[in-house]
């Protein structure tokens, strides 16, 4: 039996198209059917490279008897969390009322209006005390719905109300340098002194935290915390978490010493760790990650796929990690794990920015070209009929899922980096327009809104920056380029809203704290005006410790200035000079590479 998932955009959903479960994709049709039959929704959320999602699919969703129970008592909805992050976030927040063991696959039981009254993650086909079997869970939920429906609906409404209250924030003052240094210390206190990194098992790369520890303010005010971040990267780069054959990092390690990885390789982790390694001066790791992004994840026509699977076929059987455990010779002749080819807007923004910065810094024009191809692909394909950006595309077909604030913020910041790497103002103009759109406010998932279900109030970082922090960072970058004070004000307003939470839980707010540090420190901005973008002066600028490095021709400087980026104003007639500025106050221009300090200097 082929269900409704065969023609969807998501590879994760398509993988369930032959299940005997009568799946619906996320949409109005499923809600209407649940209301018509007056039965609960069973909403199953996962993603294509999720190992335990595959396991549950094989054990339960492929079993005809289990499927018959699901089809009889529920309307089953399958959701790709990568395509619909707001749906995932809303139901993950609701699930936290029922279980502390959050993760994927996430299984949510909801009223016909989509309000959660019970939830959990993976359940096995047979009971494994204290874990019940999936069939036992189905039976208990069906009994609760039919015998104690009023109680179930009351519980669902209480969850909605609690999440609405949790979304309320109390603005506080912007953190000063001392407060941010203290937050860095709180993070460093969690360092594993034996194996590096933070916390115990399982152990994650936590790239957002590492980026905060690399902030110039932290390096200056709390060198010990910054060193903990360096040790974390060194430990990961030397561990089983890094694929030393194919480049790039796996999702996380199940053991404290970075061994026994969960073998999926994600675009999000690797794009961010590319920036971490670049700032740390680890060129070997930078080149490995860049190679993985371009050689494995880049799609035909441009753009980067979401992830490479942990599983592959070896000797006729599915193997979790077996491919990656082989050396280069051992991988020859094996079919590599599949790539989820979804080109996700914000995730590609991370890759565009990282490859543009690394390519410019290390003189790798092919990396900048890959970033340009991705930017072209996203801006062209990831749009709906009205021209609005959407969440993702696959094989040149755009999704109907709306873009999130995180998508817009991450894409905009990546485009700003591409503008600086290429000297082409058009990318910065496009980025500013995206920031403006996001600051004006964008609609969330329409089905959640129609059912009165708010998006998750959680603005902590997960495997990438929170939506608020991503937008704040893009606004801060726009201000650093001279787009106007309104952008700094926008970044500051986000930090005002979440500063108290960030300082009390710094490990969960690394990206917001990095923005806060950028508001305290005047930015270092270097503009080189030259007709030789590969010359010694340009190379010296790109290797300098600065927040903005732009290498432009006189004509390009004029284009930036004409577009309203004041950092470039008055530079077009000064070929062969470098301007070194702190917060738009500049030293006298220099023409010799040795006159341009690699370190940050006061102005």
pLDDT at 210: 98
Residue 456: pLDDT over 80: no
pLDDT at 603: 63
Cβ atoms of residues 46 and 92 within 8 Å: no
Integer Cα distance of 422 and 173 in angstroms = 37
Integer Cα distance of 595 and 228 in angstroms = 32
pLDDT, one tens digit per residue, over 411-443 is: 999 999 999 999 999 999 999 999 999 999 887
Q: What are the φ and ψ backbone dihedral angles of 307, each rounded to 5 degrees? A: -175, 165
Residue 199: pLDDT over 60: yes
Burial level of 513, CB count in 10 A (0-12/13-18/19+)? buried
CA dihedral 395, 249, 418, 569 (to 10 degrees): 160
Residue 472: pLDDT over 90: yes
| Beta bridge partners of residue 393, listed in sequence order | 343, 398
What percentage of the chain carries pLDDT values higher than 70? 99
**Mean pLDDT for all residues in the chain:** 94
Sheet with 24-25: strands ordered across = 24-25, 75-80, 41-46, 106-110, 116-120
pTM of the model: 0.93
Return the top range by mean pLDDT from 157-171, 177-191, 571-585: 177-191
Give, to the nearest 10 degrees, the angle between helix 554-562 and helix 425-440. Answer: 20
pLDDT at 102: 84
pLDDT, one tens digit per residue, over 58-103 is: 999 999 999 999 999 999 999 999 999 999 999 999 888 888 888 8
Integer Cα distance of 540 and 599 in angstroms = 11
pLDDT, one tens digit per residue, over 385-394 is: 999 999 999 9
What percentage of the chain carries pLDDT values higher than 90? 87
Q: What are the φ and ψ backbone dihedral angles of 500, each rounded to 5 degrees? A: -60, -45
pLDDT at 397: 95
E strand spans, 90-174: 106-110, 116-120
Quick one: how far is CA 186 from the chain centroid?
A: 24
Where do we find the tokens 């810094």?
Answer: 361
Please choose, from the candidates 91, 87, 13, the residue with its C-alpha nearest in 3D space to the C-alpha of residue 53.
Answer: 13
Q: With bands split at pLDDT 50, 70 and 90, how would you rate the model's confidence at 171?
A: confident
Where do we find the tokens 């270092």?
Answer: 524
pLDDT at 443: 78
pLDDT, one tens digit per residue, over 279-320 is: 999 999 999 999 999 999 999 999 999 999 999 999 999 999
pLDDT at 459: 87
Integer Cα distance of 564 and 479 in angstroms = 11
Residue 166: pLDDT over 80: no
Residue 531 neighbours by CB distance under 10 Å: 12
Looking at residues 122-136, what average pLDDT do you find? Answer: 90
């Amino acid at each position: 039996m082929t269900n409704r998932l065969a023609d969807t955009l998501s590879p994760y959903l398509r993988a369930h198209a032959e299940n005997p479960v009568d799946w619906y994709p996320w949409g109005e049709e499923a809600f209407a059917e649940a209301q018509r039959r007056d039965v609960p929704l069973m909403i199953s959320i996962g993603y294509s490279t999720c190992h335990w999602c595959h396991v549950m699919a094989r054990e339960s969703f492929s079993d005809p008897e289990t499927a018959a129970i699901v089809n009889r008592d529920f309307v089953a909805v399958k959701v790709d969390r990568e395509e619909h992050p707001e749906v995932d976030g809303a139901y993950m927040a609701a699930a936290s009322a029922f279980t502390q063991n959050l993760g994927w696959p996430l299984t949510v039981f909801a009223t016909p209006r989509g309000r959660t009254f019970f939830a959990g993650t993976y359940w096995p086909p047979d009971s494994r005390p204290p874990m019940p079997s999936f069939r036992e869970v189905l039976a208990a939920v069906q009994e609760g719905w039919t015998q104690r429906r009023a109680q179930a609906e009351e519980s669902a409404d209480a969850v909605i109300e609690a999440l609405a209250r949790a979304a309320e924030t109390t603005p506080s003052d912007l953190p000063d340098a001392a407060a941010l240094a203290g937050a860095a210390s709180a993070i460093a206190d969690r360092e594993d002194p034996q194996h590096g990194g933070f916390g115990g098992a399982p152990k994650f790369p936590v790239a957002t935290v590492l980026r905060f520890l690399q902030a110039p303010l932290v390096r200056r005010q709390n060198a010990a915390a910054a060193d903990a971040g360096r040790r974390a990267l060194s430990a990961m780069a030397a561990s089983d978490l890094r694929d030393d054959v194919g480049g790039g990092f796996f999702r996380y390690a199940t053991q404290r010493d970075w061994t026994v990885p969960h073998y999926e390789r994600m675009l999000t982790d690797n794009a961010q760790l590319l920036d971490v390694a670049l700032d740390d001066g680890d060129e070997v790791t930078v080149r490995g990650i860049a190679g993985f992004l371009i050689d494995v994840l880049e799609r035909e026509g441009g753009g980067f796929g979401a992830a490479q699977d942990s599983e592959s076929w070896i000797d006729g059987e599915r193997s979790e990690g077996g491919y990656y455990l082989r050396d280069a010779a051992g991988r020859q002749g094996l079919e590599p794990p599949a790539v989820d080819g979804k080109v996700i807007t914000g995730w590609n923004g991370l890759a565009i920015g990282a490859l543009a910065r690394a390519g410019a810094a290390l003189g790798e024009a092919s990396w900048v070209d890959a970033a340009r191809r991705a930017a072209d692909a996203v801006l062209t394909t990831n749009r709906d009929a009205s021209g609005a950006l959407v969440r993702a595309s696959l094989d040149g077909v755009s999704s109907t899922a709306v873009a999130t604030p995180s998508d817009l913020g991450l894409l905009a910041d990546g485009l700003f980096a591409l503008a600086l790497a290429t000297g082409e103002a058009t990318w910065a103009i496009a980025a500013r327009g995206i920031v403006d759109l996001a600051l004006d406010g964008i609609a969330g998932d329409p089905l959640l809104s129609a059912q009165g279900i708010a998006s998750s109030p959680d603005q902590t970082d997960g495997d990438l920056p929170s939506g608020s922090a991503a937008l704040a960072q893009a606004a801060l970058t726009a201000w650093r380029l001279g787009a106007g004070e309104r952008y700094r004000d926008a970044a500051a307003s986000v930090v005002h809203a979440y500063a108290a939470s960030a300082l009390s839980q710094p490990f969960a707010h690394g990206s917001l704290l990095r923005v806060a540090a950028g508001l305290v420190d005047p930015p270092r901005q270097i503009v080189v005006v030259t007709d030789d973008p590969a010359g010694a002066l340009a190379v010296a600028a790109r290797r300098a410790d600065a927040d903005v490095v732009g290498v432009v021709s006189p004509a390009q400087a004029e284009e930036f200035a004409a577009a309203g980026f004041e950092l470039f104003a008055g530079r077009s007639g000064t070929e062969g000079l470098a301007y070194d500025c702190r917060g738009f106050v500049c030293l006298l221009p220099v023409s010799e590479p040795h006159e341009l300090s690699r370190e940050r200097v006061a102005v």
